[in-house]
Amino acid sequence: MSLIRQVSLLIVLALLVGLMGALGVSVGSMRAVLQDQARIKNADNAQSLALAVSQQGGDAALIELLMSAQFDTGHYQQLRWVQADGKTAFAREAQASGGRAPAWLRQALPIDAEPGIAQLSNGWQSIGRVELRSQLGYAYDALWDGLLRAAAWSALLTLLALALAQAVLGRIRRPLDALVAQADAMAEGQFVTVEPSKVSELRSLTDALNAMVQRIKRMFEAQTEQLGLLRQQAHCDALTGLSLRKHFLAELASALARDDLPERAGLLLLRLQDLAGVNRVLGREATDEVLALLGHALQQYTERVPGSLAGRLNGADFALWLPAPAVLEESAQALADTLKLALQQGGGQGGNGVLRLALGGAELTRDQALSQWFAQADEALAQAEGQAAAGQTIGIALRQVPARADAPVLPSGERAWRAQIEAALAQGHTRLLQYPVLDRDGHLLHWECPLHLGLAERSGSTPDFVNAQTWLPLALRTQLTAEVDLAAVAAALQLVRDDGQMRALNLAPASLLAQDFVGRLRELLRSQALAARQIALEFDISAAQPKSFELLRELSRSLHPLGVRVGLEHAGAQLQRIERLYELGLDYVKLDRAILVGVHEDASRAGFVRSLVIFLHSLQLQVLGEGVDDPRDAQALLDCGLNGLTGPWATGHQVR
368 with 292: CB under 8 angstroms? no
- The predicted pLDDT at position 2 comes to 64
Q: Could you give the angle at the alpha carbon of 471 between the alpha carbons of 470 and 472, nearest 5°?
A: 100
Distance CA(99)–CA(282), nearest Å, equals 123
Percentage helix, strand, coil, to 5, in the chain? Answer: 55, 20, 25
22 with 153: CB under 8 angstroms? no
67 with 131: CB under 8 angstroms? no
Distance CA(288)–CA(286), nearest Å, equals 5
- The predicted pLDDT at position 350 comes to 41
Residues pairing with 538 in the sheet: 506, 567
Q: Cα 577 from chain centroid? A: 21
Decide: helix, strand or coil at residue 645. strand
425 with 452: CB under 8 angstroms? no
Residue ranges covered by each domain of the chain: 3-159, 243-400, 414-651
212 with 204: CB under 8 angstroms? no
Q: Could you give the angle at the alpha carbon of 352 between the alpha carbons of 349 and 354, nearest 5°?
A: 130
Distance CA(186)–CA(114), nearest Å, equals 75
Within 8 A by CB and 6+ apart from 444, the residues are: 436, 437, 438, 501, 502, 655, 656
Tell me how far apart the 2 most distant CA atoms of the chain are, in Å. Answer: 165
pLDDT along the chain (656 residues), means of 10: 71 80 81 84 85 79 83 82 84 78 80 84 81 83 83 84 80 74 68 73 76 75 73 84 90 82 87 88 87 89 86 92 87 85 61 77 88 91 79 82 62 75 88 93 93 70 76 84 94 94 94 91 94 95 87 91 94 76 88 91 89 87 93 94 93 78
Distance CA(579)–CA(102), nearest Å, equals 75
Q: In what order do the strands lie in the sheet with 394-400?
A: 243-244, 309-312, 317-322, 264-272, 357-365, 394-400
Distances (CA, A) of 336 to 322, 358, 364, 406, 621: 15, 9, 21, 35, 44
**Sign of the CA dihedral with 419 first, then 421, 426, and 428 last:** positive
- The predicted pLDDT at position 527 comes to 94
- The predicted pLDDT at position 192 comes to 73
SS3 of 65-117: the string is HHHHHHHCCCCEEEEEEECCCCCEEEEEECCCCCCCCCHHHHHHCCCCCCCEE
Distance CA(220)–CA(125), nearest Å, equals 112
Residues pairing with 536 in the sheet: 504, 565
Distance CA(328)–CA(532), nearest Å, equals 44
Distance CA(213)–CA(78), nearest Å, equals 84
Distances (CA, A) of 310 to 54, 73, 232, 313, 633: 133, 119, 14, 10, 24
Other beta carbons within 10 angstroms of residue 444's beta carbon come to: 16
pTM over 0.85? The answer is no
Please, how many CA atoms are within 13 Å of residue 127, restricted to the half-sphere of its CB? 20
- The predicted pLDDT at position 352 comes to 55
Over residues 479-504, the pLDDT tens digits come to 899 999 999 999 999 999 999 999 99
Q: In what order do the strands lie in the sheet with 116-122?
A: 88-93, 76-82, 125-134, 116-122
Phi, psi angle pair for 578, to nearest 5°: -90, 105
Q: How buried is 529 (Cβ within 10 angstroms: 0-12 exposed, 13-18 middle, 19+ buried)?
A: exposed
Phi, psi angle pair for 453, to nearest 5°: -110, 140
Q: What's at 568, amino acid-wise?
A: L
Q: Cα 146 from chain centroid? A: 58
Decide: helix, strand or coil at residue 355. coil
Identify the CATH number of the domain defined by range 243-400: 3.30.70.270
Distance CA(350)–CA(344), nearest Å, equals 10
Distances (CA, A) of 518 to 64, 482, 558, 559: 101, 9, 8, 9
Q: Cα 574 from chain centroid? A: 22
**Sign of the CA dihedral with 610 first, then 615, 617, and 621 last:** negative
Q: Cα 626 from chain centroid? A: 26
Task: For residue 246, give the nearest of 311, 318, 317 by alpha carbon.
Answer: 311
Q: Cα 221 from chain centroid? A: 21
Over residues 314-326, the pLDDT tens digits come to 989 999 999 888 8
Q: Cα 214 from chain centroid? A: 20
Helix 200-235, helix 137-187: angle, nearest 10: 20
Gyration radius from the chain CA atoms: 48
Within 8 A by CB and 6+ apart from 497, the residues are: 528, 531
- The predicted pLDDT at position 135 comes to 81
308 with 302: CB under 8 angstroms? yes
77 with 45: CB under 8 angstroms? no
- The predicted pLDDT at position 349 comes to 43
- The predicted pLDDT at position 643 comes to 95
249 with 309: CB under 8 angstroms? no
Identify the CATH number of the domain defined by range 3-159: 3.30.110.200
Distance CA(283)–CA(386), nearest Å, equals 25
Tell me the H-state helices in 500-592.
Answer: 517-527, 529-532, 546-559
Q: State the DSSP H helix or E strand holding residue 8, giving kind and residue range, or none if neither.
A: helix 3-54
Beta strand residue intervals within 401-509, DSSP E: 430-432, 435-438, 444-449, 451-457, 463-466, 503-507
Other beta carbons within 10 angstroms of residue 229's beta carbon come to: 12
Identify the CATH number of the domain defined by range 414-651: 3.20.20.450
